[in-house]
Amino acid sequence: MKKCLFIDRDGTLIVEPPVTEQVDSFEQVEFLPRVIQNLAFIRKKLDYDFVIVSNQDGLGTPDNPMDRFTAINDLVMRVFHTEGVDFDEMYFDEHTPADNHPNRKPGTGMLRKFIEGNGTEYDLAGSYVIGDRLTDIQLAHNLGCKGILLAQNGSVDDCREWLWEQHNSDGRALINDCALIAEDWDAVAAFLFAGDRRAEVKRTTKETDIRIEVDLDGTGRSEIHTGLGFFDHMLEQIAKHGQMDLTIEVKGDLHVDEHHTIEDTGIALGECIAKALGDKRGIGRYGFCLPMDDCLCQVALDFGGRAWLVWDAEFHREKIGEMPTEMFLHFFKSFSDAARINLNIKAEGDNEHHKIEGIFKALARALKMAKERDIHHFELPSSKGLL
Ligand SMILES: [Mg+2]
């Protein structure tokens, strides 16, 4: 079965002019950054049909004459063609919102003939609608595809909030129909070519009950509740400075002490990151950083598949917040064992709070560097052939 990318035009392939929201002249034609090279990459490496689906209000009327539209669209298509990108079909709907016509996005009217009548069987569940508006994600829902939203009109986090607030025809939040909120076309190509890097780990013992979700390609969003305020604050650093989304829910035996909560969170977080990394193809593998406040903190790491921890940091207070300082070493040991990484941690300085916060931030930056993925060099970064 064939898969398809249903792609919006204005705001997705070419820039949509503000105010008029209509490309009326050749001077207004401006391509989105790196759209051509990424579509060429997808065309070459993956097997999707490319179909443009676009609402063009009043097409064929004096406000949007057909000959002008056709001339501009032909130019856009010629530019794509010179870079090896040809679209299999193009559908433009002329109705306005007031017409409430089934052909107008998010209606599927225009596409029914393409899907049902061209002799090719389409795997719609494996297909995507790519666009910059709510209606594109609604179209994905109506077609039984998943949506990819280009965050043209705000940050990825703003768009995520927005998709949570909007609902599709069956009353569920639209976020459920969106496979990816992409910052740009590089992120779209990386997602389609290499998949997402999300994982969930649940770990329940008599001492702790833990659920962790990670999205290595997130934006730094976190929702963390371990019952230990200072520990939550440290784990938030990993999300924020590691540019990954992190949800951590821990119910630990804090009536005994903090030990099991901190140790088991380290284990589960390590497992979750290792799971999300998958086969590790294309990653940077190594990372290091030396952030400073009054302290010098250094965390070097290797996603090499073997666990090792070097710890060279001394703490002289018994606790910071509710967190015993003796648990710092224990957390990083548990984490590196479970994630199967080499961690080399060194810190010096006087302010104990700065020192441990610096270590967590340096770990986050090291993780960010090491997890970076390059789909144009999608090999395992190892001469051994295994990480
Ligand atoms: Mg658009």
CA distance 16 to 152: 10
Within-domain flag for 334: yes
Q: b/e per residue, 194-217, with b = 16+ CB within 10 A?
A: beebbbebebeeeebebbbbbbbb
Among the listed residues 8, 93, 177, 264, the single catalytic one is 8
Domain with 65 in it: what CATH number?
Answer: 3.40.50.1000
| Residue 83 Cα to ligand 1 middle (Å) | 22
Q: Which residue has the tokens 């088991």?
A: 264
Residues 27 and 116 in one domain: yes
Within-domain flag for 387: no
Within-domain flag for 383: no
The DSSP result for 196-255, as a single string, is: --EEEEEEE-SSEEEEEEEETTS-S-EEEE-S-HHHHHHHHHHHHHHT-EEEEEEEE-TT
Q: Among 172, 194, 216, which residue terminates a domain?
A: 194
| Residue 79 Cα to ligand 1 middle (Å) | 19
Domain with 254 in it: what CATH number?
Answer: 3.30.230.40
Give catalytic status of residue 99 as yes or no.
Answer: no
Q: In the chain, which residues have pLDDT < 50?
A: none
Residues 27 and 133 in one domain: yes
Helix (H, G, I), strand (E, B) or coil at 354: helix
pLDDT > 90 fraction of the chain, expressed in percent and rounded = 81
Among the listed residues 10, 93, 132, 177, the single catalytic one is 10
| Residue 57 Cα to ligand 1 middle (Å) | 12
Residues 219 and 366 in one domain: yes
Give catalytic status of residue 24 as yes or no.
Answer: no
| Residue 52 Cα to ligand 1 middle (Å) | 11
Give residue 365's domain range. Answer: 198-371
Residues 23 and 156 in one domain: yes
Q: Among 167, 194, 221, which residue terminates a domain?
A: 194
Residues 141 and 229 in one domain: no
| Residue 104 Cα to ligand 1 middle (Å) | 13
pLDDT in tens, 257-275: 999 999 999 999 999 999 9
Residues 244 and 180 in one domain: no
Within-domain flag for 382: no
- Secondary structure letter of residue 10 according to DSSP: B
In the prediction, which pLDDT does 326 show?
96
pLDDT in tens, 182-191: 999 999 999 9
Residues 188 and 210 in one domain: no
Within-domain flag for 384: no
| Residue 67 Cα to ligand 1 middle (Å) | 21
**Whether 238 contacts 246, CB under 8 Å:** yes
Residues 258 and 337 in one domain: yes
Q: Among 194, 218, 253, which residue terminates a domain?
A: 194
Within-domain flag for 218: yes
- How many domains does the chain divide into? 2
| Residue 149 Cα to ligand 1 middle (Å) | 10
**Whether 83 contacts 185, CB under 8 Å:** no
Within-domain flag for 173: yes
Residues 138 and 190 in one domain: yes
CB-side exposure of 116: number of CA atoms within 13 Å? 7
- Secondary structure letter of residue 367 according to DSSP: H
In the prediction, which pLDDT does 303 show?
93
Tokens read off for 379: 């090999």
Residues 116 and 83 in one domain: yes
Sign of CA dihedral 271, 222, 375, 146: positive
Residues 262 and 289 in one domain: yes
Task: List Cα–Cα distances, 190 to 45, 282, 373, 378, in angstroms.
Answer: 11, 11, 8, 10
Within-domain flag for 38: yes
pLDDT in tens, 77-119: 999 999 999 999 999 999 999 999 999 999 999 998 888 877 7
| Residue 181 Cα to ligand 1 middle (Å) | 14
User: Which stretches of 262-363 are assigned E, i.e. beta strand?
Assistant: 286-289, 296-302, 308-312, 319-320, 323-324, 342-348
Tokens read off for 281: 């193809």
| Residue 16 Cα to ligand 1 middle (Å) | 7
Residues 202 and 180 in one domain: no
Kindly report the pTM of this predicted structure: 0.85
In the prediction, which pLDDT does 168 show?
82
